[in-house]
Amino acid sequence: MTMDFGRLFVKYRFYASFVVLAIGILLHIFIYKGWQWSIILYISSISIILFDIFIGPMRYLQKKVESGDIEGAKEVMSWIKFPNLLIKPVRQGYYMLQSNFDMANQDLNAAEANIRKSLANKSDMLGTSQEGISYLQLGSIELQKGNTKEALKNLKLAIQKGVPDDDNLATAYLQICTIYAQRREIKVAKEYLRRANALKVKNEEVKKQLKEISKQLARA
């Protein structure tokens, strides 16, 4: 079993920085001209402490998510003890990811609470498309909870704010289509289905949903 030094560094760097800071203080006090080395240690340790407080392990966390290591990503999330101290764009991403994990566990109440926290911490640094994704996720949660009125409002907000790709836009259109179909407003439902079909969808699951809903509405 190979040692994951990157994981160890990210997990323990905050605590290790206090050890480095203590070494710097001891050098400063007990060694002649030790202050010259102490300054380097002071700057290094304080920089790491501040980075860990305001940025956290988000870059390492992103790598875990991108590689599909969800359990590893959840572990890294647990290392963040004070998310409210993270800078705003990082905090926004943290709560969005936490909401994703909650949805995977079918904890819709927690998922809704966290995505609302993400929206409350929206930052222009991440662009409006991230805000759109948050509204899309909130709409999906409300739809699963049966709150179709709230779901429709948030899904339309997602489209208005903008989402990063056709897969997400198609998802929004299909969910709106489903709501109107449930209301027996078939003409409106078909219009949103037409918009979804006009997009260049790549995600296989979204393609599957398109085919299924197309078949259902063809019989309506």
- Under 8 Å between Cβ of 175 and 152: no
Residue 14's CB is within 10 A of a number of other CB atoms, namely: 17
C-alpha pair distances (Å), 164 with each of 114, 116, 127, 170, 175: 21, 20, 10, 11, 17
| 107-120: pLDDT as tens digits | 999 999 999 999 99
Domain parsing of the chain, residue ranges: 1-54, 165-220
Q: What is the mean pLDDT of the chain?
A: 91
Q: Three-state DSSP class for 10?
A: helix
Give the pLDDT score at 126.
Answer: 57
Give the pLDDT score at 155.
Answer: 97
Local structure of residue 220 (DSSP, 8 states): -
Amino acid identity of 151? A
| 115-143: pLDDT as tens digits | 999 999 987 765 656 899 999 999 999 99
Give the pLDDT score at 123.
Answer: 77
- Under 8 Å between Cβ of 217 and 182: no
Task: Give the separation between CA 203 and CA 218, rounded to whole angstroms.
Answer: 23
Local structure of residue 175 (DSSP, 8 states): H
Mean pLDDT to the nearest integer, 20-45: 87
Q: Which residue has the tokens 């339309």?
A: 156
Say whether pLDDT at 19 is over 90.
yes
> CA-based diameter of the chain, in Å?
88
Mean pLDDT to the nearest integer, 14-42: 88
| 56-79: pLDDT as tens digits | 998 899 899 889 898 999 999 999
Burial of 140 (0-12, 13-18, 19+ CB in 10 A): buried
Say whether pLDDT at 24 is over 60.
yes
Mean pLDDT to the nearest integer, 166-179: 96
Mean pLDDT to the nearest integer, 145-172: 95
The size of the chain, in residues, is 220
Give the pLDDT score at 124.
Answer: 72
- Under 8 Å between Cβ of 23 and 70: no
C-alpha pair distances (Å), 158 with each of 25, 100, 207, 208: 52, 16, 20, 22
C-alpha pair distances (Å), 60 with each of 56, 130, 132, 179, 215: 9, 20, 24, 38, 43
Give the pLDDT score at 1.
Answer: 42
Give the pLDDT score at 75.
Answer: 93
Q: Three-state DSSP class for 170?
A: helix
Amino acid identity of 128? T
Give the pLDDT score at 130.
Answer: 84
- Under 8 Å between Cβ of 47 and 16: no
Helices (runs of H) and strands (runs of E) counted in the chain: 11, 0
Give the pLDDT score at 129.
Answer: 63
Mean pLDDT to the nearest integer, 97-104: 93
Task: State the pLDDT confidence band at 21, using cuts at 50, 70 and 90.
Answer: very high
| Cα dihedral value 185, 186, 189, 193, nearest 10 | 180
Give the pLDDT score at 154.
Answer: 97
